[in-house]
Amino acid sequence: MGKIDGSKYIVASITLNLILIINLCVSGKWKLSWSSQAAIEAETVAAISCSGHGRAFLDGLVLDGKQPICECNSCYQGSDCSNFIPGCAANVDGYVPFLLVQHAASSAVVVAGWHRMSYKFNDHTFISQELERLIRKVHDIVGNAVTDNRFIVFGAGSTQILSAAVYALSADNASSPARVLTSNPYYPLYKMQTELFASVNFEYQGDTSLWKNSSDAGTNMIEFVTSPNNPDGQLNKAVLHGPYAKAIYDRAYYWPHFTPIPAPADEDVMMFTLSKLTGHAGSRFGWAVIKDEAVFQRMTKHIGVTSIGVSRDGQLRALKLLKVVLEREGKEIFEFGYETMKTRWEKLVKALSLSKRFSLQDIEPQFCTFFQKLRQLSPAYAWLKCEREEEKDCYAVHKAANIIGHEGSVFGAEDRYIRLSMIGTQDEYDLLIDRLNKLVSEEVGAKTMRRMQPSCSLLKISKKNFTTCNIEILRQYYLPSYISISIS
Amino acid sequence: MGKIDGSKYIVASITLNLILIINLCVSGKWKLSWSSQAAIEAETVAAISCSGHGRAFLDGLVLDGKQPICECNSCYQGSDCSNFIPGCAANVDGYVPFLLVQHAASSAVVVAGWHRMSYKFNDHTFISQELERLIRKVHDIVGNAVTDNRFIVFGAGSTQILSAAVYALSADNASSPARVLTSNPYYPLYKMQTELFASVNFEYQGDTSLWKNSSDAGTNMIEFVTSPNNPDGQLNKAVLHGPYAKAIYDRAYYWPHFTPIPAPADEDVMMFTLSKLTGHAGSRFGWAVIKDEAVFQRMTKHIGVTSIGVSRDGQLRALKLLKVVLEREGKEIFEFGYETMKTRWEKLVKALSLSKRFSLQDIEPQFCTFFQKLRQLSPAYAWLKCEREEEKDCYAVHKAANIIGHEGSVFGAEDRYIRLSMIGTQDEYDLLIDRLNKLVSEEVGAKTMRRMQPSCSLLKISKKNFTTCNIEILRQYYLPSYISISIS
């Protein structure tokens, strides 16, 4: 009886070992050597719980000498970001991570200590050829820009690119400085940057309309065309034409999650940025697609002399992220992005639907060659107008309601306009909608709100799920505003 | 006989499983989830063999669709960089990895897909507070700069920092543009950048000596002081003084591996860069230490408007690298760096010792407060002079000998000077010394070379080890030059 059939155990033991080993070999973890310390470090920080209202970062402040602290979304506080700050202003300045969380594995990157230490790549440029190849591929599958026989230059976001472009399109020692022009409403950085440089070769001279009929005056005119436009999302086209008119097309938002793509853009100078493609503003990576070699050379010179190219670490990050974008030919990220933005826009429109006090920009729906269908609106920003004659300061009106927008005057428009971001974190967006609902309910009255035709959706409040109709009303009257609600 | 004692197997099996599990748990690899794919990817690329004359990178070109190709050091070629290119010019433009290879684990960093996506850190700046804290700590242990009650600003290398500093020190709408001045020989980027910006507020106006006696002329003068100087390694001091004289101290090379540290630098505006601290030029990360808050604010504005701060990925990389620097209070990296640079300088001096045709700069040895001793020379560059009256073009003289240097005129000096880099890769440096030996042997004759007092060292040629005396002579006369030699 002391004897037992060992063969079973041999089999059992071998099987168990095999399972373990196979499991490890398949997951590949058995291979790791020098990278495992960094990997464990990163996963440990990623595992720090910040209640879904914040995040701990690898380079976050280390106060207790142990691990980085939680960095909370605006309006949340506490060591784990679980405390909502009542009466806190909804200030939308975060970003939607258009790369889904389930891409954690494929979007992560391990940087070796010896990675790209040199100033130059092997081809003596400051540019990763592999990244350039992927950029062309992304434009190709999205169909938003012609890149064949075009030059590509990298910059620290589109921010550095635009100054390089203005430099490249203006002549050295010209008889008179080139006129840098914009069309209201316009992205304010064009003006700020041009004025900061205070160059003898170019000068900010305001709105294109002033120069429409003088485009052959012999002085170069550099027109910024933002398409889709920031703030109002319109697919703008150049206003100025003729031998002295040159356009810089800012195509930052020309992606299927923000706008229909009627056709591939094919302008002489086009700018794009990772921040509006994947949401990675912090990497400071942008690029320009350029037709003319001389312009390309001057832009490359500018970026070389001002920063010796773009951080190779940022380039590696961009490479990794573009690989994720290219999975399933971009279908996944752009569908997710489009659905997210469309839903946000619909909720905004609904929140303002009963209001006569506020109105939103009107954007013409168009056929999108990427989705092969007529697209609904999903702009990155709401360009909101205060309609009441006496309410000339729309920023103040919203500030009083604890909503922080951007004044219209910043964009060269009237202050009866404000820009509200649709690309903030979910917390920021939810709070914005919450506050807008309050504002509108004050205008139209609670009764009217209650009479509203309900729209049904599934609500999740903490772990408790239940179905209800019209979450705005629910949030307005039956829920304390500090409970965050997410729709699924 | 079919029956055996199973208990042994149970024990054996359990033990084996335990060993496996413990092994995994201790190495921590069992923890990894989302980061393992990236880690395996990185280690696979790192494992690609490039014969020690090149490296494969994670973002390298992928030609066969499988793995990135080897990127070879200059003068090497072939799929694994094993082929030396005979007669190839020694062009020193690589960098010494001052972080030892055995720091592979601690210098690696894993970047999660969601890392620092936003434009701003939680304190609404573009700067990692944790990184700023480490920078102050590094200066503190090295004793090369006063950072208490000083402001710190980040830039894309010192390259972006210097243009921000010139902007900050020049006034907007001044009656006359500030004079940007340098002292020969000077780092050429100061002039190139100032001229590229063609600003109405500042202008490059040449050598400080021209303005020495007009420093109270009422026009601001911005003097670049590079200390240690690039190209000649001298610990320069400002030439101009008085109410209108402002200095930007470029302290890029003020680290114990390049120069003695007589005392902590304490100038109003000081610039540093990661590229000359750890050798990571590609990360494009630099910083300035600033006394005056108004200057700090203007520099911050400049970097904000021109690039919205520095890549957060580059900042994370810098953070990781500074942590390695801080190990053992910096002793390890600086001792390694100093020994490497000192040895290189000694070999250079030896190679030129018999020459009357070429001379090197003379730098006064000084007491180093970091090493607590009088230091030997270990400059980043050799500032070589062609002494023969007729040899006015020192660049051409070396070019003919297959050595590519930087012409003296580039630095505002005579072309009878050239700059040779001492901070290239070992391959580049070895080739440089090899070619200089040839050049000198032509001058003094083989006989003299043979009579030279030999210095003994261990040679490694491929796998065969043997001892010899005076490797230069050996390399010169008994070895084909395409065999690469490394000294240990």
The 8 Å CB, 24+ separation contacts for A460-468 are A460/A485, A460/A486, A460/A487, A460/A488, A461/A485
Strands A178-182 vs A202-207: parallel, antiparallel or unpaired: parallel
In angstroms, what separates the C-alpha of A455 from chain B's closest C-alpha? 33
Residues of B in contact with A10 (CB under 8 A): 6, 9, 13
B74: closest chain A residue by CA: A122
Q: Do A313 and B282 touch (CB under 8 A)?
A: yes
pLDDT at A376: 86
Q: Has residue A163 been placed in a domain?
A: yes
Check: CB of residue A440 under 8 Å from CB of residue A452. no
Residues of A in contact with B58 (CB under 8 A): 109-112, 115, 316, 319
User: Tokens in use for A148?
Assistant: 């064949």
Q: Has residue A93 been placed in a domain?
A: no
Q: pLDDT-based confidence at B131, cuts 50/70/90?
A: very high
In angstroms, what separates the C-alpha of B145 from chain A's closest C-alpha? 23
DSSP A91: E
Q: Out of A82-91, A461-470, B63-72, B197-206, give the one with best mean pLDDT.
A: B197-206
Last residue of a domain, one of B301, B329, B357: B329
Which residues, at least 6 apart from A356, have a Cβ–Cβ distance to it below 8 Å? A387, A443
Please check whether residues B154 and B233 belong to one and the same domain. Answer: yes
pLDDT at A472: 44
Is some CB atom of chain B closer than 8 A to the CB atom of A66?
A: no
B130: closest chain A residue by CA: A61
Is some CB atom of chain B closer than 8 A to the CB atom of A113?
A: yes
User: Tokens in use for A18?
Assistant: 């095999």
Is some CB atom of chain B closer than 8 A to the CB atom of A286?
A: no
pLDDT at B62: 83
DSSP A162: H
A92: closest chain B residue by CA: B118
Is some CB atom of chain B closer than 8 A to the CB atom of A95?
A: yes
pLDDT at A6: 52
Is the pLDDT at A483 greater than 60? The verdict is no
3-state helix, strand, coil in chain A (%, to 5): 40, 20, 40
B124-144 core/surface letters (b: 16 or more CB in 10 A; e: else): eebbbebbbebbebbbbebbb
Is some CB atom of chain B closer than 8 A to the CB atom of A281?
A: yes
DSSP A145: B
User: For the segment B350-372, what is each residue's pLDDT rounded down to a tens digit?
Assistant: 999 999 999 999 988 899 999 99
Nearest to B198 among A17, A39, A199 (CB): A199
Q: Could you give phi then psi for residue A230, rounded to 5 degrees? A: -105, 110
Residues of A in contact with B72 (CB under 8 A): 122
B6: closest chain A residue by CA: A6
Q: pLDDT-based confidence at B95, cuts 50/70/90?
A: low
Please check whether residues B141 and B177 belong to one and the same domain. Answer: yes
Nearest to B5 among A6, A35, A42 (CB): A6
A51: left (phi over 0), alpha (psi -120 to 50) or beta: left
User: Which is higher by pLDDT, A261 or B107?
Assistant: A261
Q: Do A9 and B4 touch (CB under 8 A)?
A: no
Please check whether residues A137 and A241 belong to one and the same domain. Answer: yes
CB-hemisphere CA count at 13 Å for B398? Answer: 29
User: Which is higher by pLDDT, A89 or A26?
Assistant: A89
Instruction: Please tell me the distance from the alpha carbon of residue B297 to that of residue B292, in angstroms, as a whole number.
Output: 9
Is some CB atom of chain A closer than 8 A to the CB atom of B6?
A: yes
The amino acid present at B192, given as its one-letter code, is M
Check: CB of residue A368 under 8 Å from CB of residue A180. no
Is some CB atom of chain B closer than 8 A to the CB atom of A77?
A: no
Is some CB atom of chain B closer than 8 A to the CB atom of A112?
A: yes
Is some CB atom of chain A closer than 8 A to the CB atom of B40?
A: yes
Is the pLDDT at A466 greater than 60? The verdict is no
Is some CB atom of chain B closer than 8 A to the CB atom of A353?
A: no
DSSP A475: I
Q: Has residue A27 been placed in a domain?
A: no
Q: Do B13 and A8 touch (CB under 8 A)?
A: no
CATH number at residue A373: 3.90.1150.10
Is the pLDDT at A345 greater than 60? The verdict is yes
pLDDT at B73: 87
Q: Do B200 and A196 touch (CB under 8 A)?
A: no
Q: Do B308 and A119 touch (CB under 8 A)?
A: no
User: Tokens in use for A458?
Assistant: 């599934």
Q: Do B110 and A108 touch (CB under 8 A)?
A: yes
Check: CB of residue B220 under 8 Å from CB of residue B246. yes
In angstroms, what separates the C-alpha of B6 from chain A's closest C-alpha? 4
Q: pLDDT-based confidence at B447, cuts 50/70/90?
A: low
* ω into B228 cis (within 30 of 0): yes
Q: Has residue B75 been placed in a domain?
A: yes
Taking one residue from A and the other from B, the number of pairs with CB-CB distance under 8 angstroms is 393
**For residue B487, how many other CB atoms are within 10 A of its CB?**
12
In angstroms, what separates the C-alpha of A308 from chain B's closest C-alpha? 7
* ω into B188 cis (within 30 of 0): no
Please check whether residues A406 and A367 belong to one and the same domain. Answer: yes
Q: Has residue B3 been placed in a domain?
A: no
Q: Output the average pLDDT for chain A.
A: 85
Is some CB atom of chain A closer than 8 A to the CB atom of B477?
A: no
Q: Do A314 and B313 touch (CB under 8 A)?
A: yes
Q: pLDDT-based confidence at B445, cuts 50/70/90?
A: confident
Instruction: Please tell me the distance from the alpha carbon of residue A165 to that of residue A210, in angstroms, as a whole number.
Output: 22
Please check whether residues A156 and A289 belong to one and the same domain. Answer: yes
pLDDT at A174: 85
User: Tokens in use for A210?
Assistant: 């002033």
DSSP A146: -
Q: Do B68 and A110 touch (CB under 8 A)?
A: no
Is some CB atom of chain B closer than 8 A to the CB atom of A142?
A: no
CATH number at residue B81: 2.10.25.30
Is some CB atom of chain B closer than 8 A to the CB atom of A116?
A: yes
Please check whether residues B248 and B344 belong to one and the same domain. Answer: no
Q: Do A35 and B192 touch (CB under 8 A)?
A: no
Of B377, B386, B422, B409, which Cα lies nearest the Cα of B186? B409
CB-hemisphere CA count at 13 Å for B51? Answer: 19
Q: Any idea which residue has 């440096």 for tokens?
A: B429
Q: Has residue A244 been placed in a domain?
A: yes
Please check whether residues A358 and A415 belong to one and the same domain. Answer: yes
Q: What proportion of chain B, given as a percentage, has pLDDT over 90?
A: 65
User: For the segment B267-312, what is each residue's pLDDT rounded down to a tens digit?
Assistant: 999 999 999 999 899 999 999 999 999 999 999 999 999 999 999 9
Q: Quick one: B293 exposed, middle or buried, by C-beta within 10 A (0-12, 13-18, 19+)?
A: exposed
A116-to-A149, A399, B53, B154 alpha-carbon distances in Å: 28, 47, 15, 20
Check: CB of residue A262 under 8 Å from CB of residue A268. no
**For residue B437, how many other CB atoms are within 10 A of its CB?**
21
The amino acid present at A135, given as its one-letter code, is I
Q: Output the average pLDDT for chain B.
A: 85
Residues in a beta bridge with A109? B111
CATH number at residue B272: 3.40.640.10
| Sheet of strand B464-469: strand arrangement | B464-469, B456-461, B486-487
User: Tokens in use for B382?
Assistant: 């050799």
Q: Quick one: B328 exposed, middle or buried, by C-beta within 10 A (0-12, 13-18, 19+)?
A: exposed
Q: Which of A145-154, B53-62, B370-379, B459-468 has the lowest mean pLDDT?
A: B459-468
User: Tokens in use for A189?
Assistant: 């950085």
Is the pLDDT at B138 greater than 50? The verdict is yes
Of A51, A137, A138, A115, which Cα lies nearest the Cα of B111? A115
Is some CB atom of chain B closer than 8 A to the CB atom of A102?
A: no
B310: closest chain A residue by CA: A284
Instruction: Please tell me the distance from the alpha carbon of residue A369 to that of residue A129, in angstroms, as a whole number.
Output: 28
pLDDT at B468: 38
Please check whether residues A360 and A314 belong to one and the same domain. Answer: no
Please check whether residues A135 and A283 belong to one and the same domain. Answer: yes
Q: Has residue A294 been placed in a domain?
A: yes
Q: Do B311 and A309 touch (CB under 8 A)?
A: no
Q: Which domain holds residue B84?
A: 35-88
In angstroms, what separates the C-alpha of B172 from chain A's closest C-alpha? 8
Q: What proportion of chain A, given as a percentage, has pLDDT over 90?
A: 65
User: Tokens in use for B369?
Assistant: 């407060």
Within 183-242 of A, beta carbons closer than 8 Å to B belong to 189, 192-193, 196-201
Please check whether residues A421 and A458 belong to one and the same domain. Answer: no
In angstroms, what separates the C-alpha of B366 from chain A's closest C-alpha? 30
Please check whether residues A404 and A305 belong to one and the same domain. Answer: no
Test mutation, A103, A197, A303, chain B, max B CBs within 10 A: A197
The pTM assigned to this predicted structure is: 0.86
Q: What is the rounded (10 degree) CA torsion for B253, B258, B261, B264?
A: 20
Last residue of a domain, one of A280, A304, A329: A329
The amino acid present at B442, given as its one-letter code, is E
Q: Do A110 and B114 touch (CB under 8 A)?
A: no
Q: Do B279 and A117 touch (CB under 8 A)?
A: yes
Last residue of a domain, one of A329, A344, A367: A329
> Domain tally for chain A?
4
Instruction: Please tell me the distance from the alpha carbon of residue A131 to that of residue A316, in angstroms, as a whole number.
Output: 8
Q: Quick one: A229 exposed, middle or buried, by C-beta within 10 A (0-12, 13-18, 19+)?
A: buried
Test mutation, B200, B306, B323, B423, chain A, max A CBs within 10 A: B306
Please check whether residues B156 and B255 belong to one and the same domain. Answer: yes
Q: Has residue A410 been placed in a domain?
A: yes
ipTM of the complex: 0.86
